[in-house]
Amino acid sequence: MSDQAEDKSSAAIVFGGSRGIGAAIAHQLADDGFAVALTYLANADQAAAVRDTILRSGGRAIAVQADSRDPWAVREAIDAVARELGPLDVSVINAGALRLAPIASFPLEDFDLLVDVNIRGVFLTMQASIPALRNGGRLITIGSNTAIRSSSPQGAVYAMTKAAIVKLVEGLALELAPRRITVNNVQPGPIETDLTAGMAAALAERIPLRRIGKPAEIAALVSFLASSDAGFITGASLTIDGGFVL
């Protein structure tokens, strides 16, 4: 949390906050007292539903359409935070895409999509967040345990994009350390969202805890990383996956 967080004007942005893990993070950060901006790509209704739930609970929230691959849109979203909510303390980069296929037959347009959303989008949202974040703030990415585990024979391209985030986070942590902004990467295993629809039972069989995770369990770790108690954690990729193995 930033040096000024106690002044009750703390704001957070969740890139990709309309559904799944991002929506859970938006709700959790609102419960933690942050005014929350959430971005979305296409699901305006679901983004509005997350925003309205926060507003009904007495929180402050806005929903902003912003494709993470579009530098102008991402900067607009960051500007909206300053304009409507206040100075930025926490930036959560959650937006991501998944495509599965063997490398031999992996469609080039799917390869480009994964690189665009999962690497270029993370890079652009990092770039836009850096000047806006207050000293002592938090930048948190949502990667994947596939960066360190062998996921599936069809998951190599997705895993490659999530491994790239590990290095971006390590480098940015060094760059922002002088401003006491921590930069960390949360690496979920299989979580119950639209992304894993229809795969839950098969995935659970490969997890020692015999279940897939819940979005709220990822949000709880993000909440901790955003808190002042986590001020000595930076450059880390933290895996949260029920002990997922081959």
Ligand X SMILES: NC(=O)c1ccc[n+]([C@@H]2O[C@H](COP(=O)([O-])OP(=O)(O)OC[C@H]3O[C@@H](n4cnc5c(N)ncnc54)[C@H](OP(=O)(O)O)[C@@H]3O)[C@@H](O)[C@H]2O)c1
The footprint of ligand X (CB under 6 A) covers 16-22, 39-43, 46, 67-69, 94-98, 117, 121, 142, 144, 188, 190-191, 193-196
Task: CB nearer to ligand X: give 5 or 88.
Answer: 88
CB of 6 to ligand X, least distance (A): 30
H/E run at residue 139? strand 133-142
Interatomic CA distance for residues 198 and 192, integer angstroms: 10
- Point out the catalytic residue in the list 34, 40, 123, 158: 158
CB of 69 to ligand X, least distance (A): 5
Neighbours of 214 (CB within 10 A): 14
Task: CB nearer to ligand X: give 85 or 191.
Answer: 191
CB of 183 to ligand X, least distance (A): 16
Q: Please give the sequence-ordered ranges of beta strands (E in DSSP) within 150-236, or none if there are none.
A: 182-188
Task: CB nearer to ligand X: give 126 or 142.
Answer: 142
Candidates 64, 53, 67; CA nearest to 24 is 53
Task: Indicate the residue type of 66.
Answer: A
- Angle at 15 (CA atoms; ends 13, 16), nearest 5 degrees: 130
DSSP state of 213: B
CB of 24 to ligand X, least distance (A): 8
Q: Please give the sequence-ordered ranges of beta strands (E in DSSP) within 24-110, or none if there are none.
A: 35-40, 61-65, 88-93
**Structure tokens of 153?**
């024979």
40 tagged catalytic: no
Task: CB nearer to ligand X: give 59 or 143.
Answer: 143
CB of 97 to ligand X, least distance (A): 5
Tell me the backbone φ, ψ of residue 239, rounded to 5 degrees. -95, 135
Task: CB nearer to ligand X: give 2 or 237.
Answer: 237
- Do the beta carbons of residue 14 and residue 36 sit within 8 Å? yes
**Structure tokens of 213?**
């995770």
Candidates 101, 125, 94, 69; CA nearest to 188 is 94
Residues annotated as catalytic are: 158
